[in-house]
Structures are given as structure tokens and as C-alpha cells.
Structure 1
Amino acid sequence: MTGNWLLRVGPPGGPGTPWGRVVALPHAGGWPSAFRAWRRVLPAGVELLVGQLPGRGLRAGEPPLHRVEPLVEGLAHAVAELEPLPYAVVGHSFGSVLGYELTRELERKGLPPELLAVSARQPPCFPSEPPFGHLRTDAEMLDHLVEIGGVTPELLHRTDLVRSALTAIRADLEAMETYQRPPSGTGVPILSLGATDDPIVVADRLALWSLETTGPFRRRMFTGGHFYLYDPTTAATVAADLVAALAPAAGHPPGGHPDHGTTQ
């Protein structure tokens, strides 16, 4: 099950046994390749595992799932099967919802991460409201994706790619838009991330992820639109935060990366 739900992106960045791990969950419809820039910025000894959901990538032949619960169940099972290592979870957009619920589930199993980083998604105290994205027509959804930078106009003529991508995106959006805030949060520290120029996220709401944890909380803001997290420079900055959280638990020095964000 681990091999289905999590894809190891490249080897750890150096020789020897991994001492830490990052579990990354991409945006709605996202493939593991969304986090390819992250492999280059994580230090030696930290492995990168990216969520691979049904209906895309190597699982393109499987029907996508339309609710958060079975997705989290599969991901949690996969993480629990791994060799124990200090790890952090980072989710982008829809991946933030999955990351939050994955963290809560693994905490219940006694396997909490050292840090949860949630990116480009308002906290659960702001539930989705109509009009819902998953009910858009294909044409409306494509127009929206082009507008926010999720699809390049050059790909629109590739109907084979577009059709499968829209099926996965629509399923993920339905899962996100039907998700309800749980009655309790987590004790895992949360790092809330966003872009000040994100066209679909209200930046001020990101501070309210603080309501979802009884542990430490920080917010960091960048620029670069809705998909800012996949930029190599931003990835290096956020990766450094995650590694700094892993290093004490692993007994390793955190190392350094250039700092390009602002902490709030």
C-alpha cells in the first residue's frame, strides 16, 4: 500500500541512511511531479515522499476518490508502514486539508509529525461555500485553471491530458468542498504559508490556522501567486523550516538555506 499512496521522489540528497523525511501533498489534481523542485533543495539524508492519489500518475487507471476520509485512510496506512523517522508534512492547497487530517490521524496512532506546514488554503473554520468549483463545467474549470496558472494555454489542445486531469481535479475539489471542520485540532506545531498575491486565498485568514493547534504556530508569506510553493527559491526557504524542525528529533544539525520569506 505504501508504494501506491506515496512516491519517493529521487534518492536522499547524499550517501548514507536517511535521518529525516518530508511527506508532501500536492494541490487538487496534482501529480507527485509538482514537488520536483523540492528534491533539489532538501539536504542530504532527508527523503521526499509525495502523495500519489488515485486517478493520476502511476494510479491513473484507478477511479478517483471524492471524499477526504478514504484519502487520509490510505495515506495514513502508507506512512505508518514506513521505517520510523522524524518527519514533517507539507500540503499545498487541497493538500493542506489532507495534510491536516493526516496529521490528526497519525497523532491518534501515536506517530505524529514534528511539523505540519499548510499552504495556500484557508483554515477549516472557513468552510467552502457555493458556488462550488467541482460543479463548474469543463470549460469554466479550464478558464479558471488558466487564470490562476494551474494550466498553460498551450496544453488546452491536448484533450487526452485535459480530460483525465479534469476528472482528478473535480474529485479533489469535491472532497475539499464537502470537508467539515473536525471537533478537535492537533497538538502538532503548524506553519501556515501563503502568497500575498494569491488570487483565490484571503491572506489574512491564514493566521487563523493558529486555532487548529495547541502547539506552536507561525505564519510565513511570500509572493508568486497560487502555486508559489513550487518555485525553487520558495521551496528552499520552506524546506529549511521543515528541516529545522526535523533535525533536533534526529540529533542532526539543521544546516542552512537562504531565507527569502517573511515571518509573521
Structure 2
Amino acid sequence: MRILVIGGTGLIGSKVVAMLEAQGHEAVPASPKTGVNTITGEGLDAAVAGADVVVDVSNSPSFEDEAVLAFFTTSTGNLLAAEKRADTGHHVALSVVGTERRPDVGYFRAKLAQERLIEESGVPFSLVHATQFFEFAHQIADAATDGGTVRMPSVLFQPIAGEEVARAVADAAVGAPLNGRAEIAGPERFRMDEFFRAALAAWGDAREVVTDQDAPYYGSVMREPDLVPVDGASLGDVTYTAWLAESGG
């Protein structure tokens, strides 16, 4: 099977490519680094031609509300149009748990717009909704830092290892189209402030985690159950403690 992976040189995409290749598939990474640009259309038709499945794990370079919306609608629109011209049989996209519950959040609104384009395209599809990745824990803590403190809300948080997200995406790519979504989350559910309190201690980081229910998460205030699956999600096996020990992350 020939599978084109948009965003295939990034964190999740490179893992997806490696997993598919290990299964004997022809996995082709595509990104501006490889001469494929889904915003301008450069190299897109040639890359999509002959692909049995197109996987999209690309992400916006900017999380500013209008910029991220423009990225996902433009990129996805161009990609789906190329797939229709090539008669591609399956489109797989990585999205985020909770998009439909918080359309007022800029990034969620952009991902929801992306999902609607896919659902209305006529191309058979599968959506993989994932919770936040372990790999971004340091970045989240840094963004929430105020002086010597890290301000975190006490909302439910269920992060997952990027490797397990990639596996779910790879499995979706070689399976039949769902024409719907599948959700995946980490094996443990925490309060966000408690997770980061333990994480900073494990990192040897002296910053104090302060509970602040109005502290923003990527610019928006989160409430229950914005960041966790409500029911029916598949759960990963890798705990944060095990991931940290393995990755040194």
C-alpha cells in the first residue's frame, strides 16, 4: 500500500512513516522540506498521485486564532481537492479531543473547521482524536510560567505518548475508512495542576506550581471536561513516568 504522510517529517509524522515502513508499506513523507506545500499547492498533485491513502498530521506554524484557522482550512481544502483529482480512497487526519465541545477556543475552532471539510468532501475518511502529548509538557509549563511560578488550572488532563498517537494513526491508515472518529488518550487521568506539580519535581525543576482555575491553556480558560474524552476512547499503555524514564524527556 502506498501511503502519503503530510507532515511526515515532524514529531508524529516521522513516527507514522517508520511504523508503516516496518509493516511493509510504501510510506512517503511529505512536507515543505520534501517539496510539498499544502498551502501553496507546490508539489501536491504529484505527491498525491498514486497514493492509496493520504494521512495528514501537519500542524499550523502559528496558533494565533485567525492564522491557525487559515492554515487548516487552506491546507485541508487544497489536499482534499488533490485527492479528488487522484481518486484517493482514504483520508486520515489527526485532530484533538474536545474540538466539538469548545468551538470558542481558536485552535479547537480551526480543527473543527478542518474536520467539517473532511466530512463534507466525499472522500472516505477517518479522524483520530488524541489528547495532549507528553512531548509538549515542558512547553506547556514554560507558557504558564509567571516569574518563579507555573500557574495551572485544576482540570482533568489525560496526556499520551506521541508514539501511541502515531500507532493509532498508522492503524487507521491501513484499516477501512471509519467515516467517523476514533479517540485515544493516555492511560492515566490527572488534575492538570497535580500532573505538573509531579512533573516539575521529576524534572528537578524548582518552579512552584500554583493552582489557578482561570490560568489560560494556549490562550483559553479550560473547564471540565474540555481536555479529556467523555467515553469510548482507546487508552494507551505508556504512563508518563515510564515515558520520562525511557525518553529522558
Coarse TM-score class (shorter-chain normalised): 0.3 to 0.5
Q: Which has the higher contact order (CA 8 A, sep 6+)?
A: 1
Return the index of the structure with the highest Cα Rg. 2
Q: TM-score, normalised by structure 1?
A: 0.39
